[in-house]
Amino acid sequence: MNNLLNSINKTLLMGPGPSSVSPEVYTALHKPTIGHLDPKFLKIMDHIKIMLRTLLKTDNELTLPISGTGSAAMEACFVNLIEPPDSILIIENGYFGLRMIDMATRLNENVDTMKFEWGKVIDINMINDKLKQKKYNIVAVVHAETSTGVLNPIAEIAKLIPDDTLFIVDAVTSFGTVDINVDKWNIDAIYSCSQKGLSCPPGASPISFSDRAIYKLKNRKSKVPNWYLDLSMIINYWGGNSRVYHHTAPINMMYALYQGLCNVIEEGHDNVISRHLEAHKNLKLKLDALGISFLVDEKYRIPSLNSVIIPEGINDLVVRSTLLNDYNIEIGGGLGPLAGKIWRIGLMGHTARKENIDKLISALSIIL
């Protein structure tokens, strides 16, 4: 039988994720698998927690990776914290805001939504008004909307959230690429993924819960309606002395995550964030020269996810498949109403380097 894995070439991943995996992470990934209760593995788990807290700027005890991809971490936040008849507000200006609504409405009928145009930033005054009109148990919003390239102003929204309302933030694309300050911003639940800022393969996804969120979790009247993501049990495996087995952790993915976090800390968190911003500016300059413009206003752009308007007369699919087949470069297309209208150029983690931008621009120049 012909082994299909032999056809896998190194691809420069400049889409919305996964990003290109760093060499150190590949090395970590195929370290020998050991048991999920092996003391050496428990020590790695402890250090993953410590590094996550450092990078998220939080003292939250409940800070750990979920054994799934980013959407599992999103669901972990909703399913542990929502208990009907909660009133929930979801602020939506993109595909992943819609995903939040879909998840939350499966758990609870009382979900209000505030919808803003895709590609535009959310309107802080309208949110302020809404929060004055009605009391919510939970407010949720996406920080960096991967579908549009908009960076929502979490620090400003945070100031509007009442003390007795839990604030859930999606940091899937922002974590490790822009600054996040969980404790200063009073975020109660935040989640991300491994395959963007951390440059690991997908499969292990950080979350962090504040003490207020833990209080709500521990005082639920009903069990969490999701066994695999039930944090009231998972914390007994990830913390304390007893280390009660819950499910078998994805060992090698945790090695990768450990290494991805080490990489950021060794380079310096601030340096990593600056590198993303520099890469973004560099890309912008070169796209300007090609006459390609951005979808999003300059001050609301995510440095790590650049949504650009496909020039008129250009065939989206032909360009992307030529990039992939002839140059081994992946960029992303648009989602939903933006399909065929934008490209999403990721500069995340290990990908966010000048030489990668040069490769993409050189290829694009020839193709266009």
Q: Which is nearer to a copy of itself, 50 or 126 (CB)?
A: 50
Member of 49, 52, 63, 75 binding a copy of itself (CB under 8 A):
75
Q: Which is nearer to a copy of itself, 149 or 250 (CB)?
A: 250
Closest CB 241 distance from a copy of itself, rounded Å:
14
- Does 250 sit near a copy of itself (CB under 8 A)? yes
- Does 170 sit near a copy of itself (CB under 8 A)? no
- Does 303 sit near a copy of itself (CB under 8 A)? no
Site string for a copy of itself, 16-55 (x = CB under 8 A): -xx-xx----xxxxxxxxxxx-x-x--xx--x--------
Strands 138-142, 111-115: parallel, antiparallel or unpaired by DSSP? unpaired
Chain residues 84-143 in contact with a copy of itself, contact rule CB under 8 A? 99, 102-103, 105-107
# residues near a copy of itself by CB under 8 A: 76
Q: Which is nearer to a copy of itself, 127 or 259 (CB)?
A: 259
- Does 307 sit near a copy of itself (CB under 8 A)? no
Chain residues 275-294 in contact with a copy of itself, contact rule CB under 8 A? none
Helical (H) or strand (E) element with 63: strand 62-66
Q: Give CA–CA dist 230/151, Å, rounded.
A: 30
Q: Scanning the structure block, which residue is given the tokens 């209080």? A: 215
**Strand spans (E) along 171-313:** 189-191, 205-209, 305-309
Token digits for 44?
């790695």
- Does 367 sit near a copy of itself (CB under 8 A)? no
Q: Which is nearer to a copy of itself, 36 or 143 (CB)?
A: 36
Instruction: Specify whether the CB–CB gap between 126 and 141 falls below 8 A.
Output: no
Member of 54, 113, 128, 226 binding a copy of itself (CB under 8 A):
226
Q: Which residues pair with 347 in a beta bridge?
A: none
Q: Which is nearer to a copy of itself, 102 or 117 (CB)?
A: 102
- Does 71 sit near a copy of itself (CB under 8 A)? yes
For the four alpha carbons of 15, 17, 23 and 26, in that order, the dihedral sign comes to: negative
Instruction: Specify whether the CB–CB gap between 295 and 150 falls below 8 A.
Output: no
Q: Classify residue 67 by burial, with Cβ atoms within 10 Å: 0-12, 13-18, 19+.
A: buried
Q: Which is nearer to a copy of itself, 50 or 314 (CB)?
A: 50
Helical (H) or strand (E) element with 214: helix 211-218
Q: Give CA–CA dist 133/161, Å, rounded.
A: 12
